[in-house]
Amino acid sequence: MRCQLPPHSTGKHHGLLAETEPYAALWLRWDEGGTAEAVTLPDCPVPPLVTDADACCLYSGHPERHTWDVAAYSEETSCTS
Ligand SMILES: [Zn+2]
Ligand SMILES: [Zn+2]
């Protein structure tokens, strides 16, 4: 499981497990200590600044930038759905 957030030095890592509902998904959340838990989180509600861009594929309240803010991401980062 790979963290899908932009590079971050604090907070827990999040990897998408499955889209479980239209506006929520199951995420695996873990920290450096090896503690992991599966949590259902609502989708990020922030719309892209560019109207033809894809919606952010992270969860509501995530840290760092949105996935539509492509400058923060490498080319290999994409939604799994
Ligand atoms: Zn992470
Ligand atoms: Zn977002």
**If you measure from the C-alpha of residue 35 to the centroid of ligand 2, how many angstroms do you get, rounded to a whole number?**
24
Any domain includes 32: yes
DSSP string, 3-70: --SPS-SSS-EEEEEEEEETTEEEEEEE-TTS-EEEEEEEBP-PPPSSTTSPPP-SBTT-SS--TT-G
- Per the structure, the count of domains in the chain is 1
Cα atoms in the 13 Å half-sphere on the side-chain side of 9: 0
If you average pLDDT over residues 48-72, what whole number do you get?
Answer: 83
pLDDT at position 71? 57
pLDDT at position 51? 77
Any domain includes 29: yes
pLDDT at position 52? 79
**Residues whose Cβ atom is located within 5 A of ion ligand 1:** 3, 5, 13
pLDDT at position 77? 53
**If you measure from the C-alpha of residue 12 to the centroid of ligand 1, how many angstroms do you get, rounded to a whole number?**
6
Any domain includes 77: no
Tokens, residue 34: 């090896």
**If you measure from the C-alpha of residue 11 to the centroid of ligand 1, how many angstroms do you get, rounded to a whole number?**
8
pLDDT at position 79? 65
**35: containing domain:** 13-72
Any domain includes 6: no
Q: What is the pLDDT of residues 61-74, one digit of tens each?
A: 998 889 888 655 55
Any domain includes 53: yes
| Residue 57 falls in which region: left (phi positive, over 0), alpha (psi -120 to 50) or beta | alpha
Ligand number nearest to the C-alpha of 66: 2
Any domain includes 59: yes
